[in-house]
């Protein structure tokens, strides 16, 4: 059963499922910061590069299956599937945070 997500997050998740970089970027403010694997990306240009190189290039699709609030943030857990994945590989379990 799909979980209910706030609209900006739902829009991002839907755009990610389509591997649509422009639509993935749309929910982010021009001065947004995005943390990925301990590295900080600031502003649309850096976030776009991250999406193009680390998401679109490997067809990584994040599918949240749980969301909760903690310290004013929305914490999402889910799986990231890679489009080039073989059937013998498992998806990666990951977490995301959003204000």
Sequential pLDDT tens for the chain (99 residues): 578 888 988 999 999 999 999 999 999 999 998 888 788 999 999 999 999 998 898 888 888 888 778 787 777 777 666 665 443 444 454 444 454
CA dist 64 and 16 (Å) reads 12
In the 8-state DSSP scheme, what is residue 28?
S
CA dist 87 and 89 (Å) reads 5
Joined tokens for residue 65: 């299956």
- Burial status of residue 96 (CB atoms within 10 A of its CB: 0-12, 13-18, 19 or more): buried
Q: pTM for the complete prediction?
A: 0.76
| Residue 15 CB-half CA count within 13 A | 18
The domain made up of 7-98 has a fold known as Nuclear Transport Factor 2; Chain: A, (3.10.450)
């Amino acid at each position: 059963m799909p979980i209910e997500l706030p609209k900006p997050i739902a829009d991002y998740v839907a755009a990610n499922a389509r591997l649509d970089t422009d639509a993935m970027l749309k929910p982010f403010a021009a001065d947004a910061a995005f943390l990925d694997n301990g590295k900080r990306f600031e502003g649309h240009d850096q976030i776009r590069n991250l999406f193009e190189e680390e998401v679109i290039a490997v067809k990584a699709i994040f599918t949240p299956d749980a969301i909760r609030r903690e310290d004013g943030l929305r914490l999402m857990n889910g799986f990231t599937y890679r489009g080039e994945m073989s059937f013998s590989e498992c998806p990666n379990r990951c977490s995301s945070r959003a204000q």
